[in-house]
Amino acid sequence: MKSLPILFLGIFFTLAFSWTGIVLVSHIQLGFLEPATPELTNAEEEAIAGVLFRDPDTGRMVHGRNQDGVQANPMPLVGSAQRGLRVYEQMGCLYCHSQQVRRQGFGSDFERGWGNRQSVPRDYILKERVMLGTMRTGPDLSNVGLRYSELWQHQHLYNPQITSPGSTMPPYAFLYEVRPINPVTGPSPIAIDLPAQWALPEGYELIPTRRALDLVAYLMSLHQDYELPEIKFTE
């Protein structure tokens, strides 16, 4: 066992080398990214200087950049949408859906209308879990929050055939509850409307569970419709 130290040194250097390459270098390149505010040109800056805007939060009139102008992107996931990320993970949506728009010339992501620029690392820095995905049995969901209404999302999750006839996506009907309408209080305000063809029996309504509401809040939060210093919209 003369060569034991050499064996250990060999193992050590192999591990140290891959750690440097995979962990350390990535951290140096991407570990310090922060949300970015849109950079305005001098002309744009001048154009809005001294102009009054109504602040949507307080309702008061403010000078200079409006609330949209100082919005830092990406925005953090909060509340229901953050819980919805867990549901997305648990339901295995990742196995059929990606969340990354490829750059022009790599596949037909732009032609399919999945985004108007490629995704960059900064888009994901505030996500607790990143659902990039590698399979695309279904469409890319990076910008799905911009494509449909909440009602569409609920109908589609309850039964994909309602919105997308012939779809091979499995139904997630167990995230919904079919229950009799309360005779005293009447239909629930959160009941999901269904097209006549898919209507429930008379006197019943479709109620989304907490998890369905969270999942849809998460889907509605998915959008990469902002420019960043390193990436502009593709022409």
Which C-beta is closer to ligand HEC: that of 86 or that of 103?
A: 86
Report the Cα–Cα distance between both ends of the chain, in Å, rounded: 65
Look-up of token digits 């950079």: 39
Q: How far is the CB of 203 from ligand HEC (least distance, A)?
A: 29
Q: How far is the CB of 218 from ligand HEC (least distance, A)?
A: 8
- Burial zone of 150 (CB within 10 Å; 0-12 exposed, 13-18 middle, 19+ buried): middle
Which C-beta is closer to ligand HEC: that of 91 or that of 181?
A: 91
The answer to whether 223 touches 141, Cβ cutoff 8 Å, is: no
Task: Report the distance separating Cα 126 and Cα 55, nearest Å.
Answer: 25
Near ligand HEC in 208-227, by CB under 6 A: 215, 219
Task: Report the distance separating Cα 162 and Cα 164, nearest Å.
Answer: 6
- Burial zone of 29 (CB within 10 Å; 0-12 exposed, 13-18 middle, 19+ buried): exposed
Count, residues near ligand HEC per rule CB under 6 A: 22
Q: Going residue by residue from 76 to 95, which x/- string records binding to ligand HEC, judged by CB under 6 A?
A: ------------x--xxx-x
Which C-beta is closer to ligand HEC: that of 175 or that of 228?
A: 175
Which C-beta is closer to ligand HEC: that of 80 or that of 167?
A: 167
Near ligand HEC in 132-171, by CB under 6 A: 137-139, 141, 144, 147, 160, 164, 167-170
Structure tokens given for 26: 């990535």
Q: Which residues bind ligand HEC (CB under 6 A)?
A: 88, 91-93, 95-97, 137-139, 141, 144, 147, 160, 164, 167-170, 172, 215, 219
